[in-house]
Amino acid sequence: MKTVSSCLEHRSLARRVSRRMNDAQQCIGAIGHIACIALITAFASCSTTPGSDEPDALPAYDMPGSFSVATVIFYDLVDADRENRRVPIKVHFPSDSGRFPLVVISHGGGGTWDSHLYQARHLASHGYVVACLEHVYSNAERMKYYMNAGGGMTMWDALRRIMKDPRAVLERPKDVRFAIDQMLRWNAAHEQLEGKIDSGRIAVMGHSFGAYTTLVVCGAQPVLDYLDPVVPPGSGLAGDLSDPRVSFGLAMSPQSPGTVYFGTNSYRTINRPLVCLSGSEDTQWDYKGAPMPPATRWQVLELLPPGEKYFVWLDRADHFSFSDGPGASLFPSASRPDVQRISKALMVLFCDYFLKGKREARAYMNGEYVNTLLGDVVTGVQWKEK
- Please write the tens of the pLDDT for every residue from 202-215: 999 999 999 999 99
Strand order across the beta sheet in which 129-133 lies: 69-74, 89-94, 129-133, 100-106, 197-207, 248-252, 274-281, 309-318, 381-385
Q: Are strands 248-252 and 129-133 parallel, antiparallel or unpaired?
A: unpaired
For residue 95, the Cα-to-chain-centroid distance in whole angstroms is: 23
SS (H, E, C) 22-71: HHHHHHCCHHHHHHHHHHHHHHHCCCCCCCCCCCCCCCCCCCCCCCCEEE
CA pair distance 169, 163, nearest whole angstrom: 7
Q: At what angle do helices 30-44 and 4-24 cross, to 10 degrees?
A: 160
CA pair distance 35, 27, nearest whole angstrom: 14
Burial class (CB in 10 A: 0-12, 13-18, 19+), 248: buried
**Residue 51: pLDDT over 70:** no
DSSP class of residue 112 equals -
**Residue 124: pLDDT over 60:** yes
Burial 143-180 (b: 16+ CB within 10 A, else e): bebbbeeeeebeeeebbbbbbbbbbbbbbbbbbbbbbb
Nearest C-alpha neighbor of 353 from the set 205, 218, 201, 238: 201
The rounded mean pLDDT for the chain is 90
Of 280-294, 319-333, 370-384, the least confident: 319-333
- Residue 277's pLDDT band (boundaries 50, 70, 90)? very high
CA pair distance 125, 67, nearest whole angstrom: 5
CA pair distance 264, 302, nearest whole angstrom: 10
- Residue 52's pLDDT band (boundaries 50, 70, 90)? very low
**Residue 102: pLDDT over 60:** yes
pLDDT of 59 reads: 87
Kindly report the pTM of this predicted structure: 0.89
- Average pLDDT in the 73-77 region? 97
CA pair distance 163, 211, nearest whole angstrom: 13
CB 219 within 8 A of CB 127: no
- Average pLDDT in the 194-198 region? 98
- The CA distances from residue 229 to 129, 139, 147, 161, 167, in Å, are 37, 19, 19, 11, 10
Q: Which residues contact 356 (CB under 8 A, 6 or more apart)?
A: 101, 127, 201
Q: At what angle do helices 140-147 and 155-164 cross, to 10 degrees?
A: 120
pLDDT of 14 reads: 54
